Amino acid sequence: MGGRDAVRLPRSNNTVTRHPCDVALADTLAPMPDRLVHIVDDVPELDDLSSLTMVLVLDGFLDAGHAASRAAQHLIDLSDGRVVATFDIDELHDYRARRPPMSFVRDHYASYDPPRLVVRLLDDAGGTPYLLLHGPEPDTRWEAFCVAVRDVVERFGVTRVVGMGSVPMAVPHTRPIAITHHANNPGLLTGESPWRGELRIPSSAQALLEVRLGEWGHDAMGFVAHVPHYLAQMDYPRAAAALLEQVEIAGRLTIDLSGLRAEAEDTEAEITRYLAANEEVAEVVEALERQYDAFERAEESGSSLLAQDQRLPTGEELGKEFERFLAGLDGPEDEPGDGERG
């Protein structure tokens, strides 16, 4: 077809013919393989370690009550270590879907806060080094992101990845925070899962990473806190502390949680004061408590998981009451007028 000097290259299921000069030119113009992550070459603090934990928090999807992101920030506040790996955020972030904040001062744009997805080298309370991968969940290229994280894991000799997340659930804040534990290696699991059978859920980059790391022979596990859905839009440090308690055990780390627990106590006291002054909201929480307790009794007895005579508040009821609830916590304490009641 193209003479004896032609080069045949596979393209889909067809065969195309190119002249050798065309092939050479194409090779010259072809982009170099992109590096999605840039890793620091020399990190002597990690030399000769027999085990290394990397904590993982991706903001966005799995962050009800800002519990996971608050936990990550707490770790940074305790040990503001240097960045040892940086991901190319331009390849992963959808700026129009999640627009970074800027400052406009009088007549000019003064500053821009770019999103960052990085790996930091931190130390726990006992001086043990560990890594923290933290930043916005990638909007695109999840598979490429997983490969890039594998590069970090293998470059630094990470022996275990421990993720944190939180989801809204129909549970009252007056009961213990439940934690869902998951892992790509059954040997990492402790206790019995509260879930039965298969659940079809929306995926996340964090969940996909756990799957892929398992396929590549790397241990990964995680914890998801169940946050009361009426508190999902506000900061809920109690859930953040519960997550870090699990990370301490799984990652063999020692973390000072005193400041975070004090913050959680202040938030709980604020919620209690609000409920005492707002009877309608308190009734909704009490209904959740009855449903939660009935569920627990049913689990212990092995009977039906649903209470037969307890009514679970509808999403419309909760949304109506707790829209005012959140406004009361975050804004002035003025009581709404009759015209604002649904």
Domain locations in the chain?
1-30, 37-256, 278-340
At 338 the pLDDT is 43
Q: In terms of Cα–Cα distance, which of 83, 149, 151, 90 is closest to 121?
A: 83
Alpha-carbon span 270 to 203, nearest angstrom: 34
Q: What H or E segment, with its residue span, contains residue 59? A: strand 53-59
Alpha-carbon span 320 to 198, nearest angstrom: 32
CA 155 to the chain's CA centroid: 23
Contact 231, 177 (CB under 8 A): no
Q: Which residues of the chain have pLDDT under 70?
A: 1-34, 299, 301-342
At 317 the pLDDT is 53
At 327 the pLDDT is 54
Alpha-carbon span 162 to 166, nearest angstrom: 14
At 59 the pLDDT is 93
At 9 the pLDDT is 38
Does the reported pTM lie above 0.75? yes
Alpha-carbon span 224 to 242, nearest angstrom: 10
At 31 the pLDDT is 38
Alpha-carbon span 160 to 54, nearest angstrom: 6
Contact 110, 104 (CB under 8 A): yes
The residue type of 268 is E
CATH top class, domain 37-256: alpha beta
At 170 the pLDDT is 86
At 340 the pLDDT is 41
Contact 218, 209 (CB under 8 A): no
Q: What Cα–Cα distance (Å) separates residue 63 from each residue in 26, 59, 77?
A: 45, 6, 19
Q: Which residues pair with 104 in a beta bridge?
A: 109
